[in-house]
Every structure is written in C-alpha cells, then in structure tokens.
C-alpha cells in the first residue's frame, strides 16, 4: 500500500510540470515536435511565431518554452523577455541552426536563467534528454527537503 501511495505521489509531482509551449515559425517542425512530446506524456501547445507565443502564454502558462531564436516579429529572446514578465521561473530551451551567431546572448541566458540550447537539426532523443533534467529538477523541488538533499546536482551544457 505504501508503495502505491508513493508512486501516485510521484506521478502527481511529475505530471504537474509537464506543460510545454513550442514556438517556431516552421509549423511542420513544431507539429512534429508536439506529436513526439505528446506521445511521451507532455501537455503541448504550439505557436507559429514569437508574437503568437507571447499572446497565448497567459492562457497556457507552460512550465517549459521550447523556442526558435530567429522568427519574424518577436524573436525567441524578445518573446522570452516578455514571457518572463508573466512568469519569471519559466524554463527555456532555445533551438537554432546557428547558435554561434547568438553566442553572447545565449551565454547570458544560460547563466542568468538556466536556459538550454539545442542545435538544429536535432533528433527527438536529444530533445527528450534535454527535457529530462528539466523535468527531474521540477520533481526534486516537490520532494521533502531530506529526499531532495540526497540527490546529485544536474548540470546543463549549452551548445
């Protein structure tokens, strides 16, 4: 009985943070990523550009934003600045085919906000690996302090 209660408690903790907003002007890519993430148990919303992502964020309040950097209107960085006004603790995973062009800003994003970077093209396993530490970190925050202290830190690297 205790084991069942523990599993149910863990499931509640894990399911409470699995909301993702995917923002990419490549609607085909956004749709494919959404399908993969839904199959993996995430609740996913998509937006077609930065302005659209910012405008739907208040309704969805996603814990994780998976954002392309270069988009028409608001780019990924501008969109995240606006979204952080609504939710300063939102987690960000940036996607870019040329992250080197944005190196200075990305370093600041990683250091200041704990952002992660995926270099396009990437496969779904790369995305799931990046999401897993984010999910595990949220689950650990929901644990009692004595359980939290026994876990090893999770390190993130930017591309």
The pLDDT-based confidence of 142 (bands split at 50, 70, 90) is very low
Domain ranges in the chain are: 2-148
- Cβ atoms of 20 and 43 within 8 Å: the answer is yes
Measured distance CA(58)–CA(10) in Å, rounded: 27
pLDDT value, residue 145 = 42
Distinct helix (H) and strand (E) counts, the chain: 7, 5
Q: Which residues, 6+ apart, have CB-to-CB distance to 80 below 8 Å?
A: 65, 67, 90, 92, 109, 113
Mean pLDDT estimate for the chain? 81
Cα 32 versus chain centre, distance: 16
Nearest CA among 130, 108, 104 for reference residue 117: 130
Q: Domain 2-148: what homologous superfamily? A: Response regulator (3.40.50.2300)
* pTM, entire model: 0.75
**Separation between Cα atoms, residue 14 and residue 38, nearest integer Å:** 15
């Amino acid at each position: 009985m205790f084991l069942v209660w523990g599993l149910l408690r863990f499931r509640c903790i894990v399911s409470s943070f699995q909301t993702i907003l995917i923002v990419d002007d490549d609607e085909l890519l956004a749709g494919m990523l959404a399908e993969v993430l839904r199959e993996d148990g995430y609740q996913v919303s998509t937006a077609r550009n930065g302005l659209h992502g910012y405008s739907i964020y208040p309704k969805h309040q996603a814990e994780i934003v998976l954002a392309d950097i270069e988009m028409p209107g608001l780019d990924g960085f501008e969109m995240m600045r606006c979204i952080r006004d609504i939710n300063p603790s939102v987690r960000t995973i940036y996607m870019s085919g040329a992250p080197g062009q944005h190196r200075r800003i990305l370093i600041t994003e990683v250091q200041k906000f704990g952002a992660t970077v995926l270099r396009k093209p990437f496969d779904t396993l790369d995305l799931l690996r990046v999401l897993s530490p984010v999910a595990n970190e949220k689950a650990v925050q929901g644990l009692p302090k004595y359980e939290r202290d026994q876990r090893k830190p999770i390190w993130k690297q930017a591309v």
